[in-house]
Amino acid sequence: MDSVRIGLSIRALRRRRAWTQAELGRRCGCSASEVSRVERGAVSTLTVRRLDRIVDALGARLTVRVLWRGEDLDRLLDRDHAAMVEVSLRALAGEGWVAFPEVTFHVAGERGSIDILAWHPVARAVLVIEIKSAVPDVQATLYGIDRKARLGPVLAWDRGWDPVATGRVLVLPDDRTSRRRVDRHSATFDRALPARTAAVKRWIASPSHDLAGVLFLSNARTTQARQRVPRTRPHAERGPTVIR
C-alpha cells in the first residue's frame, strides 16, 4: 500500500470538492485530525474499513493489492479458482446440467468469458456462474456478473438452446472472510443477488423460475501438504517424519 500516494489522492479529491478536513470527517464519521493524518501519509493509523469510508465519501474507490513472489500469488489464486470450477462442474453434472467452463463471448462489441455456462435440457434453464476464489471489489463483481447474465440467453440461443428460465450465481469460498464481505454489503447483495446457498442449491436441483444468488462453496480450496514432526517421548527414539 502506497501510503503517501493514498494521502495525496485523498487531499486532492477533498480540495476538488472544496471541503475542509472537518467537512470530510463529518461525512465519513471520522475526526478532522484523522483525515489530516491520512493526508500526511499516516494511513497505518486507521483500519482499512475506516480508510474505505473516507475514500467512499469522496466518491472514489479504495483498492488494496497483495503482492507475493512475483507471479506466484496469481498462480496460487488460479489454483484455488480451478478447484472451485471443478467442484461446481461435478455438482451441476449430478443435477442433470450440461456445463461448459471458460466460455468466451464477443457480442455487440462486448468481449469476455464466463466461468461456467450451463444448460438444463429438461427444465430448459440456462445458468451463468461467476466464480471468485477471493472476495473482490463488490461493485466490479456485480457489474461483471450482471453483464454476463444479460448475454447468457443470447449465448444460449447461439448454441441452439431455448431457455424459459435463467439463473445468475456468484460462487464464493465458504469462509468467514467471504461471508463478512457479503454481510458488510448486505443491502447491495440482497438487491442484486438475493438468494443464498440453500435456495441456490434447490434451484439447481429444480430450475423452474429465474434466480439470482450467492452460493458459498465448501471444501473446494486446494491445500498443500503440511509436514508434522511428532514430539520425542522420553526414553524413546524419534519417529519418522509424517507427511499428511
Dump pLDDT digits (tens) for 33-45.
Answer: 999 999 988 888 8
Q: Which CATH number fits domain 72-217: 1.10.10, 1.10.600, 3.40.1350, 3.40.50?
A: 3.40.1350
CB 231 within 8 A of CB 188: no
* Cα dihedral 156→161→101→105 (10° resolution): -30
Does 3.30.390.30 match the CATH number of domain 3-57?
Answer: no
- Rounded to the nearest 5°, which phi and psi values hold at 107? -125, 120
Block residue for cell numbers 475526526: 31
Nearest to 121 by CA among 154, 163, 169: 163
Indicate the pTM of the whole model: 0.63
Q: Say whether pLDDT at 137 is over 80.
A: no
Using the 8-state DSSP alphabet, how is residue 29 labeled?
T
Cell of 119: 444448460
| Inter-residue long-range contacts of 102-108, CB under 8 Å, 24+ positions, other chains counted | 103/155, 105/148, 105/151, 105/155, 107/151, 107/154, 107/155
> How confident is the model at residue 3, as a pLDDT?
83
Give mean pLDDT, residues 114-132.
95
| 90-117 mean pLDDT | 91
Q: Fold match between 3-57 and 72-217?
A: no
Q: d(Cα 100, Cα 119) in Å, to the nearest integer?
A: 9
- Among residues 97, 204, 108, the alpha carbon closest in space to that of 158 is found at 108
Beta bridge pairs of residue 104: 113
Q: Which residue in 82, 74, 66 sits closest to 171, CA to CA?
A: 82
Which residues lie closer than 8 Å to 112 by C-beta, 6 or more apart? Answer: 104, 105, 144, 147, 148
- Percentage of residues in the chain with pLDDT exceeding 90? 50
> Domain residues of the chain, as ranges?
3-57, 72-217
Helix or strand (DSSP H, E) at 165: strand 165-173
**In sequence order, what are the residues at sequence separation of 6 or more whose Cβ sits closer than 8 angstroms to the Cβ of residue 70?**
none
Q: Which of 73-77, 113-117, 225-229 has the lowest mean pLDDT?
A: 225-229
pLDDT at 237 over 50: no
The candidate with the shortest Cα–Cα distance to 126, out of 209, 193, 215, 216, is 209
* Residue 177 pLDDT exceeds 50: yes
